[in-house]
Amino acid sequence: MNEVNGSLIWYYYICKREVWLLSHSIEADQDDENMLIGKLIHAESYNRDKKEIEIGNSRIDAIEFQDNKTIVIEIKKSSKSIKASKMQLLYYLYKISGGNININIKGMLKIPKENKVIEINLDNENVNELTNAISDIDIIRNGKIPVAVKNAFCNKCAYNEFCWS
């Protein structure tokens, strides 16, 4: 199986079943309204930033350079999944820095519809949480498909029909 990526980290904090589905190349409904809105927001926001930088098998939304500091940017349509979004961005910082918390890099979580910008910094606590999540993701990917469990994200999930039809 492929290396863990930012999307799997995000899904890990939303739904373990989605981790399994995505890691087994079962794509979400690409015509889902929420997927399309997210793609539109991403395409139209922060045009001056360099977009979609590939790091391994992950795609970072944008990168800026300010005051000799690299700023990794993740763009989201809402703050509803703030924990998952922060952890995804922390994963990118972790990959770029090689886990070195003293490197001159930080993250910015941008939510254009809410006019929010949240600064994210890598620290030892985040590194520990990420390494535990990565280990857990490997266990999920190599096991049987998890049972569907309803949560606050199910109604707008692009996998909704897969789990609940």
Residues 11-36 have pLDDT tens digits of 999 999 999 998 988 877 555 555 44
Give the DSSP letter of residue 77.
S
What's the pTM value of the predicted model, to 2 decimals? 0.83
Model pLDDT, residue 48: 47
pLDDT per residue as tens digits for the range 109-161: 999 889 999 999 999 999 999 999 999 999 999 999 999 999 988 887 888 77
Residue 111, helix vs strand vs coil: strand
Contact 161, 29 (CB under 8 A): yes
Sign, CA dihedral 45-3-119-67, equals negative
Measured distance CA(72)–CA(50) in Å, rounded = 10
The first and second tokens of residue 135, run together, are: 């280990």
Question: What are the pLDDT digits (tens) for 81-109?
Answer: 999 999 999 999 999 888 888 888 999 99
